[in-house]
């Protein structure tokens, strides 16, 4: 059964660390990041590309890790929530949190925290592209993520607080 599928070498950079591994062609990037690269901040909320919890940044572009095969990431530079400071272009503050993380905490923009890492990653890229987005633009951006706890209002407020 298993012998029909070959193992392929894979090397990629995950949060500034070179990860060399062997994967099968069908292995999802989300699984490989979690299991081979120890990036358990990549959360699997649906595995269908809808919820956005597994969002990572691949060569500067946010993407759903659950919608990519790991072999497609050969040679890529992948940033997860562990690279948030780098994505924001700001150092980590005294409490070990970035500016964006601090805003989320201040505004109580997370509850169970499961959707949070993916949300932070894509928001960091969003703000890097547009430092002063309107509320509508923020909402538009957030429509790519599902959060079941907060009702979104505090997430919008947290991002707005940085946009001003």
Partner 1 sequence: MTGSATVFGQRRRRREDAPLLTGTARYLADLIEPDMAVMRVIRSNHAHARIACIDFATVARQPECLGFLSAAELPPDLGRLPAFDLCESSAAIHHPVLAGDVARYAGQPIAIVLARDAYTAEDLAELVRVDYEPLAPVMTVDDALRPHAPRLYPELGSNVVHETTQLVGDPEFAFAAAATGVGAVIIEQDFAFPRVMASSMEMRGAIARLEADTGRYLVHSSTQVPQVLRDELARITGLPRERLRVIAPAIGGGFGAKESIYPEEVLVLLAAMRFDLTVCWTEDRVESVTATVHGREEHLRIRAAVHENGIVTALEADCLADIGGAYALLSNTPGAAIATLRGPYRIANFRSRTRSVVTNKTPLNVYRGAGYPQATLAMERILDVAAARLGLDRAEIRRRNLLQPEEFPVDRGVDYPGCPNIVFDSGDFPACLESTLEAIDYTNFATRRAAATTGNALGIGLSFVVEMTASGPAEPARLRLRADGRLELLSGITPIGQGSETTILQILAAHLRVSEDALVFRAGDTDLAPDAPGTFASRGATMGGNAAVAAGTAFVTAARALLAELREVPLEHIVWDGGLLVEQNGHNQPMTLQALCELARSAGIDPLERLDAHAVFPDSGIAHASGCHAAVVSVDTATGIVHVLDYAVTHDCGRVANPLLVDGQIMGGVVQGLGTALFEALRYDANGLPLARGFAEYVLPTAATAPRFALRHIETPSPLNPLGMKGAGEAGCTGAAAAIVNAVADALAPFGVELGCGPFSPDHVHELLYKDPSPC
Give the residues lining the site for partner 1 (CB under 8 A).
1-2, 24, 26-27, 31, 34-35, 40-48, 50-51, 53, 80-82, 84, 95-97, 101, 104-106, 108, 110-117, 120, 138-140, 142-143, 145-156
Whole-number Å distance between alpha carbons of 108 and 112 = 11
Residue with Cβ nearer partner 1 (112 or 128): 112
Residue with Cβ nearer partner 1 (77 or 146): 146
Task: Give helix then strand counts, H and E, for the chain.
Answer: 6, 5
* Residue 16 Cβ vs partner 1, minimum distance, rounded to whole Å: 15
52 and 120 Cβ atoms separated by less than 8 Å: no
Residue with Cβ nearer partner 1 (71 or 152): 152
At 74, list the tokens.
Answer: 């050969």
Strands 77-79 and 55-58: antiparallel
């Amino acid at each position: 059964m298993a012998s029909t599928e070959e193992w392929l070498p894979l090397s990629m950079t995950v949060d500034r660390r070179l990860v060399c591994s062997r994967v099968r062609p069908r292995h999802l990037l989300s699984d490989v990041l979690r299991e081979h690269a120890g990036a358990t901040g990549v959360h699997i909320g649906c595995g269908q590309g809808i919820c956005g919890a597994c969002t990572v940044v691949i060569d500067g572009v946010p993407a759903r890790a659950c919608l990519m095969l790991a072999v497609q990431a050969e040679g890529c530079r992948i940033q997860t929530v562990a690279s948030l400071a780098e994505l924001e272009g700001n150092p980590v503050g005294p409490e070990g949190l970035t500016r964006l993380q601090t805003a989320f905490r201040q505004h109580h923009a997370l509850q169970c925290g499961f959707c949070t890492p993916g949300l932070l990653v894509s928001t960091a890229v969003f703000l890097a592209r547009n430092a002063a987005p309107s509320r509508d633009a923020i909402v538009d951006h957030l429509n790519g993520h599902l959060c079941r706890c907060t009702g979104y209002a505090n997430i919008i407020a947290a991002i707005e607080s940085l946009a001003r």
